[in-house]
Structure 1
Amino acid sequence: MLLVASILVVGQMYIVMPLYGAMASDFAVTTSAAAWTSTAFGIAYAIGFLFAGPMSDRYGPRRMMVSGLLATAVLTGLVAMAQGLVSATVLRSLQGAAAATFAPAAFSYVAMRVRPGHRVFVLSCVTSSMLASAVLMQLAAQQVVSALGWEAAFAACAPALGIVALGTHFLLRPTPGSGGTSLLSALARMPRLYCQRRLLVLYLATMTLLGSFVGVFTAIAIGGVSNDPHSLLVLRVAGLPAMLAVPFLVAFLQRFSAIDRAAAGFLVAAGAAVMASLFDGQLSHQALALFLLAGALAVSAPALVERIGQAAPAERGAATALYAFSMFLGGSLGGQAVSAFAAGGIAPALMWIGAALLLGFVLVNLSRRL
């Protein structure tokens, strides 16, 4: 249930990307104007994390996941009924706020209810599903929009989210909340987590992780292969097998500490990005490099969650909420930053992505000394 929910919920960030053209035509606006439906979701999604973490601590992760999934299901269905750009943008922002309740609660649930021996495997599965949703939901939306229109993509997701909410309620175990701590008090303590030097550098490393991941898709889209549908498809899906395979390597990965796994993942991903830039124009070689990059990031992401949870065990929900906030903030900034370099081709953009990942490697190692 956690994996399916991860794909459906986090995938709502990406599902709209193939729909811009159809929405622009239907609403009689430009494609860039239609992209505001993505921006509105992203802003609300990032802000929502700041509230979702303390609420997960207060009310319990399972209750937060169930209520958040139900709210997301209703709002997703309403997006499909939007009659104009303004209403679609407002509904997407509300959808983003509701969807933000899932990730912090899911990470807290795993920490509370999964035995330590299985925890790395489950975290790897959840984070890999969240990363894989970028590919899966875009591909699914592209197929739906060509046959049934943009509304069908949201209309199909709404009942699916409702079913997952019911499954989450009946299949996941109850999780207690702290109860007594008010939401405002919990929010007031969150800046203190950012002021802890060890957590701060880990959050900064988290920003480089998703920023680089989103940056790769940005570079692929506008870096010189977008006019070749076959090449675009190959590069987009190149990392998917690696993301799905990483959880099955947990028996090996658990031999190493979370901090070692995170550092190694950043270093391999940085090398893969540089390798991909050197193979500009060689599709098979670039696809292999992006396969390695995606797999390495799928190793680092759960390791960072685990390390952050270890650093703030008493405020795990708030700490993981800031992790999720940092990830999405990095993703938003990464796409914009890479677009400035991608105009000159995919190679220079990938070089800058490699530099960002190397910075993440340095930050992770710096956290050892703090």
Structure 2
Amino acid sequence: MALSEKHSPVSEETDAYGSFTLALPVFTLGALLTTGQMYTIIPQFNELREHWGVGPHAMAWTLSAFAIGYAVGMLVSGPGSNKFGFRRWSSIGMIAAAVVTLLISLAPWYSLALLLRVVQGLTTGAFAPSVMTYIGRHLRPHHRGIAATAVLTSFIGAVIVAQMASQYLTDHVNRQAVWYLSALGLLALAVALRSVMIADRPHFTGSIWKSIGQLPQVFTHASLVRLYFVMALPMTVGVAVFTGFELTGIVTDSDELLALRAVALPFLALVPLVAIVLRRFSLNAQILGSLVVAGAAVLTMAIAPPHPVLLGITAALFLASTGIANPAILQSAMRIAPQFGASANSGAMFINYVGATLGPIVAAGVAGFGMHTLAWVLLALVVASLGLAVRHSRVLGESIAT
């Protein structure tokens, strides 16, 4: 049912444009920092297991706890930023996230840390939908594709960068330093967002509950939900792969783990450039082609010898291919349901991080059978995502060759 005129979003034509050159580095680094909070804990698994007296399955839940909060935070962030404005919503969220992150460093018990990880995810979830919708509304049209690809690539790159930074600080300083610097970075991000984003012009004139009322419409839109799962299943796979490297014990040397993670960085750095080249192809072609490459990477992981360099390359190729697919998926979602605005982005990111929640659970459940077995399970998820993408292409009646 359409929204009444009183509660309708402000039209895009009235939106002012902000600075691309100022916003891009803040948004890109902010994506690394906020999403990276999920993964900073992975290199600390062994130390925290001893500190809290828990097992590997319990440590996997520290990832899932953050992802649950992150998913819910993203879900409410769309309606919240529609109502209160992108700048206000995101900057207040980052201040709250900084406080909670600092508290995690002081948590003496596993149960308290788990609760704080949920709240940390909830507060950092204020960033992504606000920024992605801001890009679509307040950057000039010819800048939007570059900005969206760069930010989405940073979300994926956070899997690597956060683990590398955390591992280095944990090994050479102490584990608390990771949380202290993260909290400081989130405070700095709040200040930067207020500096580079234009003044708030809320895009929804009704109450916050009216804005939240859009969400059931989002989740009953068949084509949108199909696209959401196309994006979410590879997210499960990506998180499970890197959690599996820790839990299977396939790589135990600290330097080898650091090198394995670092291999992905050059691949991810090329994603925005590759995305520009691929703009000549249809969105469906970009999605399907990227998922085929992602499947090939996981298949290689399943059948090839478990050498750290090869594992690093195949994991990097997987992340890079999803980095190309995700902007195309979000653009496709906005084209088929532009009426939902930020709520459509919230729905996508909510389902995406529900997928992330499942990643550590899948890894913990299968890791005891070895990395090869885990890779076969994950390949099935990529194939399922590809099947949904093919279905989406057929429903829309688009040719993937154009």
Normalising by structure 1, we get a TM-score of: 0.91
Give the corresponding residue for 1:366. Answer: 391
1:13 is paired with a residue whose SS is: coil
Q: Hey, what's the Cα distance between the residues in 2 that align with 1:28 and 1:351?
A: 32
CA distance in 1, matches of 2:269, 2:309: 20
Tell me if 1:151 matches 2:171.
no
Q: Partner of 1:205 in structure 2?
A: 230
**What is the aligned partner in structure 2 of residue 227 from structure 1?**
252
- Count how many residue pairs are aligned between Structure 1 and Structure 2: 370
> Which moved further from structure 2: 308-317 or 88-97?
88-97
Partner Cα separation in structure 2 for residue 346 and residue 324 of structure 1: 28
* Equivalent position to 1:302, from 327, 331, 345: 327
Preserved CA contact (<8 Å) 2:167 2:258: no
The reply on whether 1:91 has 2:116 as its aligned counterpart is yes
The match for 1:50 is: 75
Q: SS at the partner of 1:130? A: helix
Which residue does 1:10 correspond to in 2?
A: 35
**TM-score of the pair, normalised by structure 2:** 0.84
Post-superposition shift, 1:24?
Answer: 4.2
**Equivalent of 1:139 in 164, 180, 191:** 164
> What's the % identity of the aligned pairs?
25
Aligned counterparts of 2:257 and 2:228: Cα–Cα separation in 1:
31
Cα distance in 1, alignment partners of residues 35 and 291 from structure 2: 22
1:345 CA drift (Å)? 2.4
Task: Give the structure 1 partner of residue 136 of structure 2.
Answer: 111
Cross-structure match for 2:315: 290
Aligned to 2:23: none
2:304 matched to which residue of 1? 279
Query: Retained in 2: the 8 A contact 1:69–1:99?
Result: yes
Tell whether 2:286 aligns with 1:261: yes
- Greater shift in the superposed pair: 125-134 or 70-79: 70-79
Q: Is residue 92 of structure 2 the alignment partner of residue 67 of structure 1?
A: yes
Judge conservation of contact 1:280–1:346 (CA < 8 Å) in 2: no
Q: Would you say the 8 A contact 2:204–2:211 is kept in 1?
A: no
1:166-205 residue pairs with structure 2 within 5 A? 166-205=191-230
Could you tell me how far 1:209 is from its partner in structure 2? 1.8
2:341 pairs with one of 310, 316, 320: 316
CA distance in structure 2 between the partners assigned to 1:17 and 1:162 by the alignment: 23
Contact kept? 1:22, 1:149, Cα under 8 Å: no
**154, 157, 180: which one aligns with 1:129:** 154
Q: Sort the Cα spacing of 1:334 and 1:35 in 2 relative to 1 into closer, same or farther, 3 A.
A: closer
Aligned counterpart, 1:270: 295
Q: Post-superposition shift, 1:30?
A: 5.3
Deviation at 1:246, TM superposition (A): 0.4
* 2:273 corresponding residue in structure 1: 248
Q: Give the CA deviation at 1:28.
A: 5.4
Q: Deviations over 1:308-336 (max 9, x none)?
A: 12222121211111111111111222332
SS in 2 for 1:281: coil
Question: Using the alignment, how far apart are the partners of 1:171 and 1:35 within structure 2?
Answer: 36
SS at 2:193 equivalent: helix
Provide, for residues 6-46 of structure 1, a one-character-per-residue CA deviation record: whole Å limited to 9, x for no partner. Answer: 11111111112222343444455556555554443232222
Report if the CA contact (8 A) 1:207-1:331 is conserved: yes
AA matched with 1:366: R
- Whole-Å Cα distance in 1 between the matches of residues 358 and 108 of structure 2? 30
Distance 1:116 1:39, change over 3 A: same
Which amino acid counterpart does residue 262 of structure 2 have in structure 1?
V
CA distance in structure 1 between the partners assigned to 2:274 and 2:50 by the alignment: 45
Q: In the superposition, relative to structure 1, how do residues 129 and 348 fare at CA in structure 2: closer, same or farther (>3 Å)?
A: same
Per-residue deviation at 1:64? Answer: 1.7
1:100 is aligned, of 119, 125, 130, to 125
Quickly say closer, same or farther: Cα 1:288–1:150, change in 2 above 3 A.
closer
Partner of 1:346: 371
What is the CA-CA distance between 1:142 and the residue it aligns to? 1.8
Decide whether the 8 Å contact of 1:23 with 1:150 is kept in 2. no
Q: What 5-or-longer segments of structure 1 have no aligned partner?
A: none
Flag the 1:28–1:229 CA change in 2: closer, same or farther, 3 A.
Answer: closer
Contact 2:164 2:261 in 1 (8 A): no
Structure 1 residues 217-226 or 325-334, which shifts more?
217-226
CA gap of 1:356–1:190, structure 2 versus 1, over 3 A, is: same
**Structure 1 residue 129, shift from structure 2 partner:** 0.8
- Cα pair distance change 1:147/1:103, threshold 3 Å: same
**Counterpart Cα distance in 2 of 1:349 and 1:24:** 23
| Matched AA of 1:139 | M
Alpha-carbon shift at residue 233 of structure 1 (Å): 3.5
Instruction: Give 3-state SS (helix, strand or coil) of 2:214's partner.
Output: helix
